[in-house]
Amino acid sequence: MIDTTRLLVYPDGATQETQNPLPINQIVDLNGRPLRLPLPTHREIVYRVQKIRKIENRGEEITNYYLELVGGIELLSLCE
């Protein structure tokens, strides 16, 4: 039996466990939940999955989803 862990890795190095598998370039909210586009407002903290790294050890698999903060100008374009 393999224990699977999925971690969000924020730009400041903080981590948070998530249940959702995420693809590259997925737009997520502060808690790692996928967001639908277009966004209803530009007044939200939004991240993008920029890199995925899997670490496999005996009996466990850890998937790290590295996030980048989406900037203001790009965030406005996601609202249109």
Bond preceding residue 38 cis, omega within 30 of 0? yes
Domain ranges of the chain: 3-78
What token pair was written down for 36?
A: 């639908």
Give, for all 80 residues of the chain, the pLDDT tens digit.
778 999 999 999 999 999 989 999 999 999 999 988 887 777 788 999 999 999 998 889 999 999 999 887 777 777 76
3-class DSSP assignment, residue 76: helix
Instruction: Quote the pLDDT of residue 80.
Output: 64
Give pLDDT, residue 45.
87
- Among residues 43, 42, 46, the alpha carbon closest in space to that of 34 is found at 46
Q: How far apart (Å, rounded) are the C-alpha atoms in residues 69 and 10?
A: 8
Q: Say which residues have a Cβ less than 8 Å from residue 18's Cβ, sequence separation at least 6.
A: 6, 7, 8, 32, 65
